Structure 1
Amino acid sequence: MVEARHDLMAQHGGQDAAQEEAPRRASVAAALADPAGALAERLGPGPHALIVLFAGEGAVLPQVLAGLTARYPRTEILGCTTAGEIGEDGYAEGHLVAIAFPASSFAVETVVIDPLSAIDSRRMVARLQQARLDLSRHADRLRHELALLLVDGVSGEEEFLIASLSGGLGPMPIVGGSAGDGHNFSRTQVFRGERVHDHAAIVCLIRSRMVMRTFSFDSTMPSRRQMVVTQADPARRIILRINDEPAAAEYARLLDCPLDNLGPELFATRPVLVRVGGRHFVRAIRDVGPGQSLLFFGAVAEGMVLTLSAETDIAAHLERALEGLSRDARPSLILGFDCVFRRIEVETRQRVAEVSALLARHRVAGFSTYGEQINGMHLNQTLTGVAFYPDGAGWA
């Protein structure tokens, strides 16, 4: 089923100041007695066209969503579960992070795709085209547009989904993240209003007065060590053999480490890369599977050539990348989808305080994902997102 909702942008004048047009972020501990009330106090009464909520471990979703919808009955509220959050102070855990988009400068249309396993591409394309047309009609004065995607992170459907969305959205930029479940990799959820979905995705089409610049940063670099996938199960994202040896054993040999040492820390700090279109992209390893296989978060195939990544400085790269977003104008806010394995790498290298300070200084809000999407690609181990700028300030 693909379900769409038309949300008219509330008419509200007198908020022409850039700070009043910009998205506003707030974060609170999920364990508070009334976390929805605490969020609402920090976000203000609005009117808001959209509130995006990222819910960390410990959040009682029915309570939180009921509280927010009661306080914002005319606002589109949507979001997902996380593998960690990015709030005002950088990395956080067990928090709720909310971003409110003022109705004076934003308008939205939302499409829910449920279930992912029964996507009818032709019908979905038609629904997306209609939603985009409806949004254009009632928000034609807002000239910048974007599609925000949140998807079940353990579905394994991201590649097919993003390809289908591209057919329905045309030139509209797409950016998003795969929902998380802490480090459990078991059950991830997306939600809209008070309804929580498993094995589903939410596409929110946005038009704005603000300039919205998408980006994707990847700090990894290729080493000279390569390997060939000689047996794989692409449907389940599993590599069984590398260089005609059990995949996990061969990966460990190339790392010069015992097989028993393989785990999230090594997967995060020494991922494997695949070269596509002249660029290297991470294929994040999820776990060691039966028979010394390797389970992945992205597409794999027999004959694929993988390159072991080299050691890099993730904090220094992040500082340069975020400074680049502020070169011509400083973003009012950056919505970031940060792969959980980047977070694990930061923790392993004991750079949490440094990276958190960078994220806070550059006004990044978002969550740690099981994968990221930008335009027609599903990625791993990136910081992908969108920066919001006042119209006419730097980026056109």
Structure 2
Amino acid sequence: MSTLTAPRTGHHTAVASAVSHESDPSAAVAELAAALGSRADLYAVFVAPGYDLGSMGAALKDHFGDRVIGCTSSGNIGPHGYDRAGICAVSFTGGLRARTVTVGPLDDAPGAVERAAADLADLRSGVGDSESFAILLTDGLIRNEDLLAANLMAALGDVPIIGGSAGDDLTFRHTAVYHDGEFTANLATVTIVCTDAPFRLIRLQHHETTDTILIATDVDPDLRVIRAFNGRPAAQAYADAVGTHVTELNPTIYSKHPLLLNAGGSSWVRSIAAANADGSLSMFARVEVGDVLRVGRPMGMLDKLERQFTDIEAELGPISGMLAFDCVLRRLEFEEHQLADRVGALLAEHGAVGFSTYGEQFNGMHMNQTLVAVAFA
């Protein structure tokens, strides 16, 4: 069954969303098209696990042509909040122009951006004096979003970026990005949106830094592995810092006490993926030798989101719709604290549509356990 939210009309852009839980890809996309129509300026589609991606890609191409971007997800954010199954879509109509280029393969992210330099420069030149932002969707298993985001920011100059890493509901087997009728691994898409409608980019995390400092002294940046903090085995040093035994380390502790990097006058979450048998820590984001990381603590998980929406509406007026990329680790933490329904309802109330990610990008930075979004007035 598909669900449609009524279009929310902003200054020039109408935003609508729909979700389908039909098991057949063609039937699911047909429901979305029936709900959203086929004349929007841009569609964004997010696909939870369980679908044949070949059939899904063909159906998206058939119904929406070349005006659709999307990726696989670890669950979606739709008209009813968090949704771990199905396919979710949002459409933007009126007052905007959108163009997309592909970047890949991503094994060598700087090289991929360099190969796409001419196309990216063409995108950038098309902005002119318009207000614009870029949407980055990238494979979530290549583990180099840090370099990808930094190099794209250099290529796009003053065009701000929001992005999300494709997911597969924590199975870590296959993530893919949609382009031109196909879901492809090892690929990213960059879409520049120029719009007359007022908008605001959002970055929100609910962890704050403590005074406990861990300095990365032995790392493998490309593998996202920290071997030592302050000259000591990383897992042991982290366990001591959060007041537990190394054998008790688990995803619950990692989610409550991520590591935060201060850069550019702000803090950025570096989440721990696992403690390894050799005493090292695997990370969900890149860490360099000498990085000073602070142990984080959760603060006001729901309150911070409510305040963020209040601030946005004070600046823009009522929100007409929002494209949101929200770390899957945030949803898991909300579920653990029985807050997922309340957070999901708050997101739906403000027209948020998007997906649960394996990582988020904001301008030139990649991070974890963060919500990034673009909200339209």
TM over 0.5: yes
SS of the equivalent of 1:48 reads coil
Give, as a single letter, the amino acid of the residue that structure 2 aligns with 1:106: L
Give, as a single letter, the amino acid of the residue that structure 1 aligns with 2:242: L
Residue 133, structure 1, aligned to residue 117, structure 2 = no
For the Cα contact (< 8 Å) 2:103–2:112, is it kept in 1?
Answer: no
Query: How far apart in 2 are the matches of 1:245 and 1:150?
Result: 37
Query: How far apart in 1 are the matches of 2:262 and 2:155?
Result: 27
Q: State the match for 1:248 in structure 2.
A: 235
Q: State the match for 1:360 in structure 2.
A: 348
For the Cα contact (< 8 Å) 2:235–2:279, is it kept in 1?
Answer: yes
Shift of 1:356: 1.2
Q: Deviations over 1:82-138 (max 9, x none)?
A: 122111111110121111122x322221111120124254443322111333565xx
Query: How far apart in 2 are the matches of 1:93 and 1:120?
Result: 32
For the Cα contact (< 8 Å) 1:132–1:169, is it kept in 2?
Answer: yes
Give, as a single letter, the amino acid of the residue that structure 1 aligns with 2:376: F
Match of residue 52, structure 1, among 44, 54, 60 = 44
Match of residue 95, structure 2, among 99, 105, 121 = 105
CA spacing shift, 1:318–1:285, aligned 2, 3 Å: same
Q: Deviations over 1:55-93 (max 9, x none)?
A: 1111222222222322233x4222111122111111110
Residue 67, structure 1, aligned to residue 59, structure 2 = yes
Alignment RMSD, CA only? 2.1
CA spacing shift, 1:35–1:20, aligned 2, 3 Å: farther
Query: How far apart in 2 are the matches of 1:257 and 1:71?
Result: 53
Q: State the match for 2:4 in structure 1.
A: none
Shift of 1:368: 1.1
Shift of 1:299: 1.6
Q: State the match for 2:360 in structure 1.
A: 372
Q: State the match for 1:40 in structure 2.
A: 33
Query: How far apart in 2 are the matches of 1:386 and 1:357?
Result: 18
Which range is displaced more, 353-362 or 180-189? 180-189
Q: State the match for 1:155 in structure 2.
A: 142
Shift of 1:19: 8.5
Name stretches of at least 5 consecutive residues in structure 2 with no aligned partner.
1-6
Match of residue 96, structure 1, among 71, 82, 87 = 87
Q: State the match for 2:3 in structure 1.
A: none
Q: Normalising by the residue count of structure 1, what TM-score does the alignment of the two structures yield?
A: 0.86
Q: State the match for 1:166 in structure 2.
A: 153
For the Cα contact (< 8 Å) 2:102–2:116, is it kept in 1?
Answer: no
Query: How far apart in 1 are the matches of 2:330 and 2:36?
Result: 29
Q: Normalising by the residue count of structure 2, what TM-score does the alignment of the two structures yield?
A: 0.90
Name stretches of at least 5 consecutive residues in structure 1 with no aligned partner.
1-14, 390-396
For the Cα contact (< 8 Å) 2:104–2:113, is it kept in 1?
Answer: no
Q: State the match for 1:80 in structure 2.
A: 71
Which range is displaced more, 86-95 or 180-189? 180-189
Query: How far apart in 1 are the matches of 2:76 and 2:101?
Result: 24
Query: How far apart in 2 are the matches of 1:91 and 1:257?
Result: 32
Residue 115, structure 1, aligned to residue 105, structure 2 = yes
Query: How far apart in 2 are the matches of 1:37 and 1:263?
Result: 42
Query: How far apart in 2 are the matches of 1:111 and 1:311?
Result: 37
Shift of 1:288: 2.0
Shift of 1:183: 1.2
SS of the equivalent of 1:342 reads helix
For the Cα contact (< 8 Å) 1:109–1:135, is it kept in 2?
Answer: no
Which range is displaced more, 277-286 or 190-199? 277-286
SS of the equivalent of 1:327 reads helix
For the Cα contact (< 8 Å) 1:22–1:388, is it kept in 2?
Answer: no
Residue 337, structure 1, aligned to residue 328, structure 2 = no
SS of the equivalent of 2:314 reads coil
Which range is displaced more, 125-134 or 212-221? 125-134
Query: How far apart in 1 are the matches of 2:127 and 2:261?
Result: 38
Match of residue 237, structure 1, among 224, 228, 235 = 224
For the Cα contact (< 8 Å) 1:56–1:82, is it kept in 2?
Answer: yes
Give, as a single letter, the amino acid of the residue that structure 2 aligns with 1:51: Y
For the Cα contact (< 8 Å) 1:59–1:96, is it kept in 2?
Answer: no
Shift of 1:246: 2.1
Q: Deviations over 1:171-222 (max 9, x none)?
A: 2121111111211233211011212211111001112232231111111111
Query: How far apart in 2 are the matches of 1:278 and 1:170?
Result: 19
SS of the equivalent of 1:38 reads helix
Q: State the match for 2:260 in structure 1.
A: 273
Match of residue 309, structure 1, among 282, 292, 296 = 296
Q: Percent identity?
A: 33
Q: Deviations over 1:349-393 (max 9, x none)?
A: 11112111111111111111111111121122111110112xxxx
Shift of 1:32: 5.2
Q: State the match for 1:324 in structure 2.
A: 311
CA spacing shift, 1:21–1:230, aligned 2, 3 Å: closer
Query: How far apart in 2 are the matches of 1:247 and 1:359?
Result: 36
Query: How far apart in 2 are the matches of 1:353 and 1:304?
Result: 36
Shift of 1:343: 1.1
